[in-house]
Amino acid sequence: MSSPAEVPIPPDLIRRYSGTSPGRAWLGSLPGLVCGRLEHWQLEVDLGPGQLPWNGHGGMVVPVLRAGTPAALKVAYPHDEAKVERHALRLWDGHGAVRLLESDAGTCSMLLERLDAAHSLQDVPLETAVPVWGSLLRELSLTPDSRPEWQEFEHVAVRAERWSDDLPADWEQLGRPFPRWLLEAALEVCQTRGAVGRRAGTDVLVNTDFHYLNILSRPEGVAEGSADGFAAIDPQPMIGEAEFAVAPLLWNRIKDLPRSAPERGLLDRCRDFSQAAGLDAEVARQWSLAREVENALWSASRPGHGGDLARSLWVASTLAGRTLADLPAARDLPAPGEAAGLASS
């Protein structure tokens, strides 16, 4: 067992946050934050010799014991999604998502049920992943009620309306990094779904980062293919149309698309996952197109993300029905963050 002073910071997290003053300040405070939560929640670090804590894009997760029971201490960089994660987990209460045991807003820390970090939906065949994801999505799609946590989430339609202004401005500023017709396809989605989504009365709690690696196995294990054996993590929650959640399934595991017709395979994947969750596949396609155009502009603005840009453009243009030429073949596109040496998301 490690003592609090020996909890190492994963090198991946150091690389990601050492480039800015706020990031360096957070890294410097991280040992103290971890130590404080260990003491306050009476936790024992459960790391073997030389073992690193787990980490994702925005935080560190330390395996711990609480009165002998396995749990996980998550300390996140205080970004917008991390600040509202605990509210969503409290609403889900362990149904379809990792169970929240304790939280502390001031340190952006949570004590969570311990899941099996070595086994995610990334590891199972897609034909198994489809019904599992669909069942979990149904379970997570709560309808808003009077509980105060609902006031904390941004609405998907509000974000879409903001994209209507931001995407054209970013496209121009970045030197028009892809054809205008693809930008206009995304803007059409923002203009229709942004307005319609706000009026439709179909609002649910949306896990906007609901991809394969963010769905972990529960350690007790259940029959293969059962959603009961899996739980979502890192939800980046919002309110809006549930179809907004489909996009990360399309920009991950691209290498699993059929080599003979990957474009058709991508559309089939959108359809299959949508049907499994009781969603409208056409609405899912539209939202996924808009989200990938936004991702493409993000990648275009950052050096070293050319692979991510190419992947986003391939997915977005394929969803729009006109796959751009001069892009790598689908099987050669990097996984999210792979080209920049970051964790997949």
pLDDT at 264: 98
Residue 61 has pLDDT above 90, yes or no: yes
pLDDT of residue 14: 92
Fold designation for 4-114: Phosphorylase Kinase; domain 1 (3.30.200)
- Please tell me which residue in 209, 234, 272, 308 is annotated as part of the active site: 209
Over residues 98-110, the pLDDT tens digits come to 999 999 999 999 9
Q: 52-61, 182-191, 318-327: which has the minimum mean pLDDT?
A: 52-61
* pLDDT given for residue 195 in this prediction: 76
Kindly state the percentage of the chain with pLDDT values over 90: 81
Burial of residue 36 (number of CB atoms within 10 Å: 0-12, 13-18, 19+): middle
Average pLDDT, the chain: 91
Do 65 and 71 touch, CB atoms closer than 8 A? yes
In this prediction, residue 49 carries a pLDDT of 86
- Please give the pLDDT value at position 221: 55
3-class state of residue 199 by DSSP: helix
pLDDT at 343 over 50: no
Per-residue pLDDT tens digits for 295-322: 999 999 998 899 999 999 999 999 999 9
Q: Name the segment(s) of the chain with CATH classification 3.30.200.20.
A: 4-114
56 against 98, higher pLDDT = 98
Q: Is 93 a catalytic residue?
A: no
pLDDT average, residue stretch 270-293: 97
- The domain over range 119-332 is classified in CATH as 3.40.50.1000: no
Sequential DSSP letters for 245-307:
GSHHHHHS-GGGS-SS-HHHHHHHHHHHHHHHTT--HHHHHHHHHHHHHHHHHHHHTSTT-HH
Average pLDDT over every residue of 215-237: 78
> What average pLDDT score do residues 203-229 get?
81
pLDDT at site 223: 42
pLDDT at 342 over 80: no
**Rounded Cα gap, residues 76 and 250, in angstroms:** 26
- Calpha distance 95→97 (Å, rounded): 5
Is pLDDT at 239 greater than 70 in this prediction?
yes
Task: Please give the model's pTM, rounded to 2 decimal places.
Answer: 0.91
pLDDT at 206 over 70: yes
pLDDT of residue 340 exceeding 60: no
3-state SS, residue 216: strand
Q: What is the mean pLDDT of residues 218-223?
A: 65
What's the full length of the chain, in residues? 345
- Please report the pLDDT score of residue 344 as a whole number: 39
> Which tens digits make up the pLDDT trace of 10-53?
998 999 899 999 999 999 999 999 999 999 999 999 998 888 99
The pLDDT value given to residue 341: 42
Model pLDDT, residue 339:
56
Indicate where the chain has its CATH 3.90.1200.10 domain(s): 119-332
Each residue of 79-104: pLDDT tens digit?
Answer: 888 889 999 999 999 999 999 999 99
Q: Is 44 exposed, middle or buried (0-12, 13-18, 19+ CB in 10 A)?
A: middle
Asked if the model's pLDDT at residue 345 lies above 80, the reply is no
pLDDT at 222: 47
